[in-house]
Chain A
Amino acid sequence: MNAASGSILATSSLTMRFGGVVAVDNVDFSLAPGELRCLIGPNGAGKSTFFKCLTGQLRPSSGSILFDGEEIGGRHTHEIVARGIGIKTQVPNLFEGLSAYENVSLAASRRNRADRAAEIAGEMLELMQIPEIAGEAVGTLAHGQRQLVELAMVLAGRPRLVLLDEPAAGMAGEERARLAGVVRSLAGDNTLIVVEHDMDFIKDIASTVTVFHRGRIFIEGHVEEIMAHSEVQEIYLGKETNAAA
């Protein structure tokens, strides 16, 4: 499939090599504005590397990335973020010594004056339903709370495309349900790509799923269809391995 016209994000033959290892292999991927897409795949499938290419943390070996019709492949991270892509990384990336509020406020202050940044920080913590931890140093917070603080930071930058790398990792039931609600509420106004392993969480938030396997897109489709797909079960759920054992 080639880059679809009218898509907010379209990669074409995107490839990322590390020496002899091809982590992302000729990926053609497109996303419509307002869409919420989940990426799944076993560890090492290339999902996080794909995200790093989209955000400029890695310079693709070849191929193109069009964001809103503009080529962003190989551009620097700050240029890509300024164009409207925000990412919550797999391991929460926070300023450990600062409070939750200060973290989010710092994120908001790139595009806003100090008073407006403070307002946005308050709004984002409310949106995540964690205003009670605003004053606490993020280094002391539980993993799930740290995930929410980082998501608040990402949203404070007002991105048009939000990349979430395993946002539900380390979250308990109620916290995870709250996050699913937040993610669902973001879709429509924002475009989202969510990398996740938790299939129940995926069913809660998305209808379309893309499966990565060995750096390539293996299949795309409706979540129920994907989950029922025997080959997906083999590569993702390891039935092949289980059968062999």
Chain B
Amino acid sequence: MAAFGYWRGVALVAAVFLAILLFVPAWFDLFEVLQMTQYVVLAIYALSLAYIWGFGGIISFGQAGFFGLGGYAFAVISINMGETTVPFLLTIALCFAFAAVLGYFMFYGRLSDVYLGVVTLVVALIMWKLISHTAGPEYAIGKARLGGFNGIPSIPIMQVPFTDREMDPGEMFQYFMGLLIFVYLLLHVLIRSKFGRIAISIRENEVRTGLLGYDIRRYKLMVFSIGGALGGASGAMWATYQTFIDPNAFSLEMSAKCLIWVMAGGVGTLVGPIVGVVALQYLSLKLGETAFMNNLVILGIVLVLLVLLMPRGIVPTLHDWLRKALALARQPSRRGAP
């Protein structure tokens, strides 16, 4: 029964996403569609961290390393190949492999907790530094010049898979939204599988899981690699959405934002980080339109309030409130009782 309730909740969320996929391009203007496409891409980026943190207990302070690598890999491969389908798949594979190699040294080197987070942060910052120093014409991979701080312009727009027809903004929104639904469902299947339950048990009690005979390094490596692949996929989507990528994709700000979205939405959920992205990005956008106060200051205040009032995140807190309200509503009225 519990499993049925779980999947019913997942199906409900997926149905809402599907409705958004179907109706947004028809009901909203171009600017709004583009804005929502951005939220969708960043939602997949947030899910990459939400999965490894919430369901594997791995905190990455440098998730932007995968985001940036995905963006640059997609830019270089798609510019050289002149299409987007195979480059997108190759980018995901490359980021998976990069995460696997990095993860191998971290997990098999018995790094854990905050040290692991620091290593991921340092790796992302090294990548940012390296890519920022590629300004000269000698820094080119095939036809793609890396461009240093100026980044790579003219990245191909995402094409309808296995064709050379470029997607219009509405189609791109629907394609990315479809990918978000796919990732959301895939992660739920993974979480509910035996593999997922063991990954969660590692998060809950690493020592006991090891003493039950599970190779915790292997499970953590797999979880981290999946997170890396998702982070890379979102970076590729970001690059084709903007038709541009620059070193800021690797920046501390990109890593920090991801942590904030996941934390604000709720660690240990998949809907939470998506809500976190939409709420905070929308807020940033609206604050940017006002001249009342520096929007980063207001955003900071909002985050402090969120942490104080909803320490578990938006979605888990709202879920608790809803459950309590339903429980109250189900209780028979005692107004007339003596």
Contacts and interface: CB of A to CB of B under 8 A. Distances in A.
Contact of A78 (B197, B205, B213): B213
Contact of B215 (A76, A87, A95, A96): A76
Nearest to A87: B211
Interface stretch (A105-113, A171-179, A212-220, A229-237): A105-113
A82 B211 CA distance: 9
A50 B201 CA distance: 26
B207 A157 contact: no
A110 B218 CA distance: 14
Nearest to B200: A95
Contacts of B172: none
Q: Is the interface of B mostly helix, strand, loop or mixed?
A: helix
Nearest to A78: B215
Interface string B38-81: 00000000000000000000000000000000000000000000
Interface residues of B, number: 16
A139 to B, nearest CB: 11
A48 interface: no
A210 to B, nearest CB: 23
Interface range on chain A (Cβ under 8 Å from partner): 20 to 34
B210 A95 contact: no
A97 interface: yes
A89 B204 contact: no
Contacts, number: 52
A169 interface: no
A106 B201 contact: yes
Given A106-B197, A109-B194, A77 B204 contact: no
B12 interface: no
Interface in B208-242: 208, 210-217
Contacts of A76: 215, 217
Given A93-B205, A106-B201, A157 B215 contact: no
17 contacts: A57-B207, A57-B210, A57-B211, A76-B217, A77-B210, A78-B213, A78-B216, A82-B213, A87-B211, A89-B208, A93-B211, A94-B208, A111-B213, A153-B208, A153-B212, A157-B212, A157-B213
Given A81-B211, A95-B201, A95-B204, 12 more contacts: A55-B211, A76-B215, A81-B212, A81-B213, A94-B208, A95-B205, A95-B208, A98-B204, A106-B197, A106-B212, A111-B213, A153-B208
